[in-house]
A and B are shown apart, each in its own frame.
Chain A
């Protein structure tokens, strides 16, 4: 029930709706990047409200690295069907042919080819001039300085020194042919806001966020789930069944689980309030070195 929404969540929701409507009113051909995670679930839920009673006037795009958790793919397809939305799935087929994988190629190469390059391919192919993403400014330091409307060159590059100032609620959406905008309607949400909103609005999320006994192996301090038989076990490695959940979802060999007893949304929120580690701690691709997110973004990563 919207009436029950706390004031700060209602304000965040209204701001996100405002941003989405600006994009639909001012750009030629928008698309929504749908990554299946909790932030995408919230973004999609807000989009359903923003254009009600119309359907969101844009398709969903999922860049599939082929290494997502199986439960994510099931959830993705169910969600698109339940909401009656047009879902476009893009895979970098060239990368698949070259056998790129997080296991064989390492996290950096895999992310570059199957995510960053794949995204550029997909956007070029679709001819979209605006793409919504679910990133939040509280996730990472270089995200904190990202604009809500992030202007990208025809080569999808982000220039942190040449961003347009964003004043009031006046977003400058003008661009030349071939250029595009990445738009982040959830910029001002925090991780806690996201979970509180999911609880208040009863939004479905991938079951992996909830604790359950799952087979995992421990690698460099991270708990990696053995989601299918593509994860080669090292000598002596035997998967253990322990109660874990995921705080953030990516490619399964690159996403660390946390030990947790949180089986419900209320449990998750309580656990988060007591947490002493940040959200992206479980993402192995961020910890390569300081500034790694910024480097990826300049190359066209979301």
Chain B
């Protein structure tokens, strides 16, 4: 690190580079490090060795090899993940996120953008603006980046032509106008030869701006989070002994001082700040970015997930809001499906209630859509199971952002930025019921349950369910039966058989079953319900322990041979689309409460096993 004396008072600049494949992002970063003499001797000799083996630049050093880390991408010549680089010059420290240009890895770009203040958008001077250029600029804008450097690279390959540069800049400015960038600086450069990278090039005499490094060292990007309202998402309660109870977290925005009044968002309980620890040191005040532990004047019921604020500037609180969601999973986002939302330090069950539109990130057009696939962006309404505190993302990146977690794989499936809350959410309150569900059940001398029969069409679900219901009725048990075909004639006649409609179909049935169990009934539901996620959704909708998953297991060949409604014949002939088992998958239950092999035992025997299970669980009295 020659001469890299850091002036620590200057803020670190967090930036990301983005652009299309082969625009030269990695080359630019490598060139910056090389020119600032930030490449060490042993790294340089490894680079020279690798350039001969993998390089694409013939005799020169291939700077991209310095920053492309993983073996696979080295072989493909494509950066496939986000790589972080750290360097410091005399004037400033930098953290650079190198993000992919390849179409299918857009999620990584959003990841890099979420913590960046400035984006360098690279454009190949020979190719001009490409789909990727639009896509990455729109994602940068969505993620709240307000400063853009438009780097028109490979200017050497167009003979350092001024008009080519100007045309690209004009086209980009026109496109970027609705994206809300505060600053846009365009610069002609050659990453390979170093023109305008860290010295002004003599080969672009028509360019009057400063070179890239000069610009990056001087730009002011800090949005002053210290002047925003105070927000402290509570991470952890520190209680080492009876005399100390601290509320620990990182201040998302604003300042707090000893003696300040504070309020817990949601509960509305108030107290004052008795003491402040910044890290482990006592302090009079603390500000955005500080990791603090607060002690409070009164013992309030505060837990992880709460948000502390000043009483005069509180965050919004709602259980429904509208947000832009970037989808990051190969499993499509379907409205109605249940996810976990991590917002600040709170994790709550959530579902998308409505996909208002999908955003075409190449054109900024709003398109009608029923699902979001990997790398797609959409404006959604979401509902969570309890009210949460939040701010709009444009006002606060920390309290306005969330991730959605797949409940089965635990993967991070999506990332969201809250636009606004839905006003009605604050006005819809649960009705406190005077006659409770226990009272209903007591009157019937039974314990309510949802018997969920799942399996292929023709497996025998409805046949078995009917016999079970008859046996229960004979014992004086109060039941109701919801059957796929019947429900679709009434409650769900507006729904088709696409994956999205199947999810909604099951969601509604789950809600109805829940209301019926509230009334004390034993509800028999007979639905193909091919997706694990939806069956889990119904399980979560039901009261704890009341959902009994019954897998009616029949080989597909047997079901096709039975074909009681002639549907397989039509599906196999291509006359019915989205038919489970034919052109739509059936996801077998991983651990059903009961498995009925319908090819091996008679219907009576299978029904008796279901009744016996209800006796064992105490839902109905034994004879």
Contacts and interface: CB of A to CB of B under 8 A. Distances in A.
A145 B111 contact: no
Given A165-B412, A276-B40, A294-B70, A18 B111 contact: no
A281 interface: yes
Interface in A7-57: 7-11, 13-15, 17-18, 21-22, 24-25, 48-55
B67 A141 contact: yes
Contacts of B236: 21, 24-25
Contacts of B110: 165, 167
A8 B46 CA distance: 31
B69 interface: yes
Interface string B231-262: 00001101110001010111000000000000
Contact of B405 (A174, A272, A275, A277): A174
B405 A276 contact: no
A21 B111 contact: no
A220 interface: no
B398 A8 contact: no
B202 to A, nearest CB: 29
Contacts of B277: 52
A163 B412 CA distance: 9
Interface stretch (B55-63, B79-87, B437-445): B79-87
Contacts of B238: 51, 53-54
A14 to B, nearest CB: 4
B328 A165 contact: yes
A160 interface: yes
B40 A165 contact: no
B566 to A, nearest CB: 42
Interface in A129-179: 137-138, 141-145, 160-161, 163-170, 172, 174-176
A8 B397 contact: no
A202 B345 CA distance: 33
Contacts of A2: 278-281
Contacts of B69: 141-145, 294
Nearest to B278: A2
Interface in B563-584: none
B398 A17 contact: no
A166 B415 CA distance: 10
Contacts of A52: 277, 279-280, 293
Given A137-B86, A172-B342, A273 B240 contact: no
A137 B43 CA distance: 15
B32 to A, nearest CB: 15
Contacts of A278: 40, 42-43
Interface in B87-115: 88, 93, 95, 107-108, 110-111, 114-115
B114 A167 contact: yes
A94 B54 CA distance: 41
B434 interface: no
Interface centre among A14, A145, A187, A276 (most CB of B within 10 A): A145
Nearest to B109: A165
Contacts of A21: 235-236, 248-249, 291
B612 interface: no
A160 B81 contact: yes
Nearest to A12: B12
A3 to B, nearest CB: 7
Contacts of B411: 164, 172
A25 B235 contact: yes
B345 A25 contact: yes
B305 to A, nearest CB: 10
B41 A50 contact: no
A167 B113 CA distance: 8
B158 interface: no
A188 interface: yes
Contacts of B279: 2, 13-14, 17, 49-50, 52
Contacts of A291: 70-71, 74
A109 interface: no
Contacts of B397: 168
Interface in B602-623: none
A54 B240 contact: yes
21 contacts: A2-B278, A2-B279, A7-B8, A7-B9, A9-B8, A14-B250, A18-B291, A50-B291, A52-B280, A54-B238, A168-B114, A172-B411, A188-B95, A190-B88, A192-B6, A272-B1, A273-B3, A275-B1, A276-B41, A281-B42, A291-B70
Interface of A: 1-3, 6-11, 13-15, 17-18, 21-22, 24-25, 48-55, 137-138, 141-145, 160-161, 163-170, 172, 174-176, 187-188, 190, 192, 272-278, 281, 290-291, 294
Interface of B: 1-6, 8-9, 11-12, 40-43, 46, 50, 67-72, 74, 80-86, 88, 93, 95, 107-108, 110-111, 114-115, 235-236, 238-240, 244, 246, 248-250, 277-281, 289-291, 293, 304, 328, 340, 342-343, 345, 397-398, 401-403, 405, 410-412, 415
Top 10 A-B residue pairs of the complex, sorted by shortest distance between their CB atoms: A6-B8, A141-B69, A54-B240, A52-B280, A17-B291, A167-B114, A49-B280, A174-B410, A278-B40, A2-B281
